[in-house]
Structure 1
Amino acid sequence: MERPWLAHYEPGVPRDFTPSGGVLPDLLRRSAEAYADREALTFLGRATTYRRLWQDARRFAVALQNLGVRPGERVSVMLPNCPQFVVSFYGALLAGATVVNTSPLYVASELEHQLLDSGSETLILLDAFYPRYQQIAARVPVKRVIVTGIQDALPFPKNVLYPLKARREGTWVDVRAGGSVFHFGSLVRSQAPSPQVVTIWPDDVALLQYTGGTTGVPKGAMLTHGNLVANAEQARAWMTDLREGQEVTLAAIPFFHVYGMTVAMNLSVLIGATIALVPNPRDVRMVLSQISASKATLFPGVPTLYNAINNHPDTPKHDLTTIRACISGSAPLLLETARRFRALTGGANLVEGYGLTEASPITHTNPIFGDQREGSIGLPMPGVDALVVGEDGEPVVSGEVGELWVAGPNVMKGYWNCEGETAKALREAHGRTWLLTGDLAVMDEDGYFRVVDRKKDLIIAGGYNVYPREVEEVLMTHPAVLEAAAVGLPDAYRGESVHAALALRPGMTATAAEITAHCRAHLSPYKVPRTVEFRADLPKTAVGKVLRRQLAQEARERMEATPAAS
């Protein structure tokens, strides 16, 4: 097939890319050998060397094996960005397990669905999240719970002061070990770093990363060791000026998000970078202080975070000029956001990329130093092929709109226990296995791609996927709601925000505040509607399907008309 994008690769980016075929624990082992005394992690004043990180991962693997975790078992990790996440991830993989990334933002019902669907028998979580697990413990297959706290990773005297502060604020959760509950720190400290050797193959599933795709039903994308290693290596190949053993990555984007896991964690471990961990990316003051304290050189993120830094009153107090490169993912990057961020950092290269959970996730990005085209998601990464395909399944000519298909070593194995959905997402054609993105795109004659319409009905709020069906199902549990639809509206800060359109049952009333309060009790905060619209009925097709696109268009028109009217 023709690959016009190759002619626009920067010097040093390989035109022919072959992944190493390694497995994820090898990344950490090699960096521990090459950079044993270099700081691998920094966390609020405490540093961990690569030697220590490798030892702790092996100790944790021994602990899991002693607890009965066997190769292929699923281990759910529900942690923010902290040293325990990195140890848990690589330790579980060393034991031969499959990690299940579990969002700390999940409410109890969301956590229950994922534990049931994945069949996870081991759950690693922060003590503050334990009450959510207790609500569903009797209904899920979890046999062992490993609990840790932020204080476990803090230096003295912060580790002593943190519990006192949490108790004073009423946020402390006291979880006692016993029975099926274990303390993370005790497990790691009590083991020798000598796990039973487990043979791991590149085609083994390393990660179940849950995504709703376009259906709204969360499914676990099976990402193999080979997929995830390949995508980290593709990112390294793209960033031609990376300095092995010298970079500092500001890890604010969550590791439980596959973009954060690949670019902020796995890529950093691959190149022996120091990872400056930020447990709460919403705390912009903390993000700013960690950039200046760590002298971060790489800053992967999402547009919401860059925009927050652009507009925060404390930004001028911090030195951001050490940042050299940033790839923005998960949502469209506004041109003004990129322009202002570059000015604040003295010219850091902030470029937009594109990807999907099912592709580990990066498939396209703009050149770091070369021709960065406004409004474009850039060029396919090394080793990625891309087609724009018409309704007949054949490629269209450049400049024409079609569905974007991608293929490469980073494309998932399939969906966990969802053969039907896998068959819809993956297709054999033109001698390759293609991932059908569901996005409508255009490729120009130089091989730059532009997405012209997003996955049907998907809302991306602050970099997080929001699937309308999830929101609508909660809305429909309100006793006054007869019909409900959730759509995305433009939001200068989040990229998009959730808008709910409702028709109420005859004779019943409800307020917007009541609806949002109901949603907060059942949904993660970023999924809660920011605006609520009440209508006599919802527009539908002839077969009764709600016209979300029409609702979104009408709401956008009202937004645009309101300022003019005032």
Structure 2
Amino acid sequence: MTDTIAALLASASPDAPAIGAPDRPWLSYAELADQTARTLSALHSAGVGRGDRVAIVLPNGPEMASAFVCVAQGAVTAPLNPAYKLDEFDFYLSDLKARAIVLPEGYDGPALEAAHKHNLAILHLSFAATDPAGQFTLAVQGTTGLAPDTAPADADDVALILHTSGTTSRPKIVPLLQRNVAASARHIGASLALVPQDRCLNMMPLFHIHGLIAAVLSSLAAGSSVWCTPGFDAMRFFGWLDTARPTWYSAVPTMHQTILQRSARNADIIARAPLRFLRSSSASLPAQVMLELAATFNAPVIEAYGMTEAAHQMASNPLPPRVQKPGAVGIAAGPALHIAHEVENHLLQGGTGEVVISGPNVTPGYEGNPEANAKAFFDADGLRWFRTGDQGSLDEEGYLTLTGRLKEIINRGGEKISPLEVDGVLMDHPAVQQVVTFALPHASLGEEVAAAIVLREGQEVDEAALRAFAATRLAAFKVPRRIVILPEIPKGATGKLQRIGLAQKLGLAP
């Protein structure tokens, strides 16, 4: 039982604050334990118990955080994006084989319609604005009709089920065991030296591994506190920073860049903020942004490398006095990390190849997908390795630098081009605020290089000047043939820039 979410919470001081939110009293660890008992009782009354799958469709905030933590101690959690349409809810509820769903009281949207279609037990969540953050009641509608196993979850039970993004094919189901998420929460806490006095400001979506594990569960595993916002909002960020008094926050690079745009007018708040560090994950942080963040907030910026199949964290830049290397995603921070041949099942000694990991936080395998598992896992040097799909290399100090997703590497007539390399060059132009390089279909070459750019406020530059600037630093075949300047680059549901399919989204490809 030591490798479970319940065990993670057991050592915290009962009276210590656990979960907070704007304009709400704090929920203590003792109150979180009471909330867990009430939640599991409600699940059991609906015929849902250990091993049963519970979809959670709630807006970002403290109730989503505590619902995940509470439900996961006696059933399987399956958080879903509340913005999904009916067809998406229909697919995911069916694919997950969900038995019940948690919905906000009064919700009458497509998730409810899909739940009725699949005969799910429905748990309506309600709370009062005066309640401690994350405290709620569940009203049960319907039952699965089966007597549940009411035993608490153990280390080998599934705690969390998520889908891969599925940009090019059917999304794969990623089951994460209690031991996987517990290990990852501990790894994150160790790499960030979290202590009970720390406080995380969470803005990440809580249907995503970054927010669930890196912000919520790692904080609770350390006996510290997490302050849950309704989601990222650049206009409200600095007010939250002043109110919550966090020692850290974690975000994706696009969020950090938006925060930087508003930092000058909020210098007084930054000066009194007790930030011990800033964390960035879920996409590569441009070196220029890392340096600007560190200078602006006078705090180290810890870039980490994570993915769903690893219950989030795989590598992390270390805290001072060890160095943070701009452009690198850090050193192994939990699982063993190596570079492997991109096709053959063996490890490489030096050079560039596919990043592979092995450790207690790694999923045992995709559910019901032996073909995907055969491609994703292999045995070498006495360990079972998972292929991340990322290309990169390790330096002599063990710092990992990513070249890019293997499926995002641009193949221009046989020449392989790293989008991250082109990003890095264009980000050095003084007028450029944000850039994403992507593949543009080409009739004879297969793919050509293109880039979408957002300019800094008040700056002007044209496509020809940007191409000329890139040509001074890149070989001719790497220089983007098309550069589009946009007010905003389209992002995915979690705030990440998405290279695949961007040419079609921007109307640049058939």
Specify the SS of the correspondent of 2:402.
strand
Specify the SS of the correspondent of 1:414.
coil
Q: 1:113 aligns with which of 88, 91, 94?
A: 91
What CA distance in whole angstroms lies between the structure 2 residues aligned with 1:497 and 1:111? 32
- Partner of 2:123 in structure 1? 146
What CA distance in whole angstroms lies between the structure 2 residues aligned with 1:184 and 1:422? 39
- Partner of 1:45 in structure 2? 23
| Distance verdict in 2 for CA 1:334–1:127, change over 3 Å | farther
- TM-superposition CA deviations, 1:478-505 (whole Å, max 9, x none): xxxxxxxxx9996966764999x7xxxx
Percent of aligned positions with the same letter in both sequences?
Answer: 26
Q: After TM superposition, give the deviation of residue 262 of structure 1 in Å.
A: 1.1
- Partner of 2:326 in structure 1? 374
- Partner of 1:264 in structure 2? 215
Write the letter of the residue equivalent to 2:274: T
- Partner of 1:232 in structure 2? 185
What CA distance in whole angstroms lies between the structure 2 residues aligned with 1:564 and 1:497? 13
- Partner of 1:299 in structure 2? 249
Mapped pair 1:59 → 2:38: yes
Gaps of 5+ in 1: 1-19, 159-182, 189-194, 460-486, 502-537
- Summarize the alignment of residues 247-396 of structure 1 with structure 2, pairs less than 5 Å apart: 247-281=198-232, 283-312=233-262, 314-319=265-270, 321-345=273-297, 347-369=298-320, 370-389=322-341, 391-396=343-348
Contact between 1:99 and 1:208, CA under 8 Å: does it hold in 2? yes
- TM-superposition CA deviations, 1:263-321 (whole Å, max 9, x none): 1111111111121111121x123222121111100211111121111112653352463
- Partner of 1:25 in structure 2? 6
CA RMSD of aligned residues (A): 3.3
TM-score after normalising by structure 2: 0.76
Write the letter of the residue equivalent to 2:229: V
- Summarize the alignment of residues 492-507 of structure 1 with structure 2, pairs less than 5 Å apart: 496=436
- Partner of 2:157 in structure 1? 204
What CA distance in whole angstroms lies between the structure 2 residues aligned with 1:397 and 1:498? 30
Specify the SS of the correspondent of 2:210.
helix
Specify the SS of the correspondent of 1:246.
coil
Q: 1:561 aligns with which of 450, 457, 464?
A: 464
- Partner of 1:218 in structure 2? 171
Greater RCO between the two (CA within 8 Å, min separation 6)? 1
Contact between 2:163 and 2:173, CA under 8 Å: does it hold in 1? yes
TM-score after normalising by structure 1: 0.69
Q: After TM superposition, give the deviation of residue 127 of structure 1 in Å.
A: 5.4
Specify the SS of the correspondent of 2:72.
helix
Q: 1:69 aligns with which of 45, 48, 60?
A: 48
Specify the SS of the correspondent of 2:249.
coil
Mapped pair 1:92 → 2:71: yes
What CA distance in whole angstroms lies between the structure 2 residues aligned with 1:497 and 1:555? 4
Higher helix share: 1
Q: After TM superposition, give the deviation of residue 26 of structure 1 in Å.
A: 2.0
Contact between 2:389 and 2:407, CA under 8 Å: does it hold in 1? yes
Write the letter of the residue equivalent to 1:438: G
What CA distance in whole angstroms lies between the structure 2 residues aligned with 1:88 and 1:125? 11
| Distance verdict in 2 for CA 1:260–1:494, change over 3 Å | farther
Contact between 1:324 and 1:349, CA under 8 Å: does it hold in 2? yes
| Distance verdict in 2 for CA 1:24–1:48, change over 3 Å | same
- Summarize the alignment of residues 142-181 of structure 1 with structure 2, pairs less than 5 Å apart: 142-148=119-125, 152=127, 154-155=129-130
What CA distance in whole angstroms lies between the structure 1 residues aligned with 2:179 and 2:255? 30
Larger displacement relative to structure 2 (102-111 or 434-443): 102-111
What CA distance in whole angstroms lies between the structure 2 residues aligned with 1:153 and 1:303? 34
What CA distance in whole angstroms lies between the structure 1 residues aligned with 2:406 and 2:433? 21
Mapped pair 1:444 → 2:392: no
